[in-house]
Amino acid sequence: MNAAARPGQVASPIDWQAVRADFPLLQRQVHGKPLVYFDNANTGQKPATVIAAVDDFYRQHNANVSRAVHQLGSEATDAYEGARGKLAAFLNVRADELVLCSGTTFAINLVAYSWALPRLQAGDTILVSRMEHHANIVPWQLVAERTGATVRVAEILEDGSLDLDALYASMTADVKLLAVAHVSNVLGMVNPVREICREARKRGIVSVVDGSQAVPHRPVDIAAIGCDFYAFTGHKMCGPTGTGALWARREHLQAMPPFLGGGEMIKEVSFEGTVFNDPPHKFEAGTPNIAGFVGLGAAVDYLSTLGMANVEARETELLAHLTEELNRIEGLRIFGRAPDKAAVVSFLLEGAHAHDLATLLDLEGVAVRSGQHCAHPLLQFYGVAATCRASPAFYNTHEEIEAFVAALCKVRKLLG
């Protein structure tokens, strides 16, 4: 049985202690205490193979992509396009439908400016769920302001799940676009995006799924989801910051005008007019984050070797342990109690401010996030100004959960 399994739990085919050793940063101390990194919903740590891939690119292959005929230029282009191919296979989509960009925020803005802005008008509605990250709210507000369209909120229930009956009832004829998270970054709720996108499609509504918190934690088959657009970010899935992608149906990519203009996104430029490149390059103006994508390709290799089903099973087990421990603490309230949940736990402790908790936990070596988690409307629903959020990943351990809970109890006494 693997060393990290707990009594009564099924043995994992993965040696999770060995996996943990792949992450150099996890070996360090903070404030003289062993680091317990529980802020994975914010950004994930990087395995040595990802760090080495970025390092090797700069040492051995650095050149610009799609421009130079020399050896280094073709090596850099192959590495960059190779990463696109790896990502596409990982998510079961075509590589030429995957626009590489700086992350989810860019990806959703690309849809907002290139798809929505030229199409929407007064009288149209954009349906946005209550649990969205600001990256999947603000671009739609900007589009609404400029087109006269309206943003309508798809509400959640008290347990944090989407109110699906209300959602389907609000998919009226005026709704042109639906924006929904695959997994909530605050509550961990997993939305049934396959069913939701099917219902949207039946009614001619274009669906935009924010997969930022799903792709790093569970197997994702974008083709099976059946959405129109799927956005995700690389830094939460063991990859470098400044990487991510937008998947879009080919017909949308062909119909959409470019978002940004410049080099790489053109076939021919004259002062009489410009011929744009084919998708996805039409949407990739300028020199991309080449080394970052090489690193993201290595991250995909790393996660594929682990197997996303194993990652999901491991995090489900950690979540169960964490929830069980937190449930024992009197006066602790967990936000998001619906059963289908990823390893993100937002909580408040009676009598303690979330920021105070996080600051004191930091002194114990525990990294959690406190605040509104870029989701003001969601916190407004619960009537709280801030929460603490603990988000373990597959490389965390049961011992760390116990250390975290012990630190929480100690900190509570200090605040008491």
Using the rule CB under 6 A, is 135 a contact of ligand PLP?
yes
Binding mask 168-207 for ligand PLP (x = CB under 6 A): -------------x---x----------------------
φ/ψ bin of 315: left (φ > 0), alpha (ψ from -120 to 50), beta (otherwise): alpha
Whether the CB-CB separation of 24 and 51 falls below 8 Å is answered with yes
Q: Which stretch binds ligand PLP (CB under 6 A): 161-169, 209-217, 298-306, 322-330?
A: 209-217
Q: Which amino acid is at 148?
A: G
Residue 135's closest CA among 110, 162, 104, 176? 104
Contact status: 370 vs ligand PLP (CB under 6 A): no
Place of tokens 């937008």: 246
Least distance to ligand PLP, CB of residue 244, Å: 6
SS3 252: helix
Which range in 67-75, 103-111, 193-201, 266-274 contacts ligand PLP by CB under 6 A? 103-111
Q: Which of 124, 210, 228, 315 binds ligand PLP (CB under 6 A)?
A: 210
| Residue selected from 103, 188, 258, 336 as contacting ligand PLP according to rule CB under 6 A | 103
Residue 233 engages ligand PLP in binding (rule: CB under 6 A): yes
| Rounded Cα–Cα distance for residues 242 and 46 (Å) | 14
Q: Which one among 105, 109, 191, 277 touches ligand PLP, defined by CB under 6 A?
A: 105
Q: Write phi, then psi, for 222 (nearest 5 degrees).
A: -65, -40
Question: Could you say whether residue 133 binds ligand PLP (CB under 6 A)?
Answer: yes
Measured distance CA(316)–CA(312) in Å, rounded: 6
Q: Which residues contact 27 (CB under 8 A, 6 or more apart)?
A: 21
Q: Which of 40, 109, 125, 212 binds ligand PLP (CB under 6 A)?
A: 212
Of 108 and 326, CB closest to ligand PLP: 108
277 binds ligand PLP (CB under 6 A): no
Closest contact distance (angstroms) between CB of 41 and ligand PLP is: 6
**Catalytic positions, written as ranges:** 374
CB-nearer residue toward ligand PLP: 230 or 302 = 230
Which ranges in 170-289 belong to alpha helices (H)? 193-202, 222-225, 250-255
Residues within window 330-369 making contact with ligand PLP, judged by CB under 6 A:
none
What is the C-alpha radius of gyration for the chain, rounded to an integer number of angstroms? Answer: 22
CB of 209 to ligand PLP, least distance (A): 10
CB atoms within 10 A of CB 282: 21
Work out whether 104 is an interface residue with ligand PLP (CB under 6 A). yes
Q: H-helix or E-strand containing 413? A: helix 398-415
CA separation for the pair 324, 327 (Å, rounded): 5
Q: What is the binding site for ligand PLP (CB under 6 A)?
A: 103-105, 133, 135-136, 181, 185, 210, 212-213, 233, 244, 374
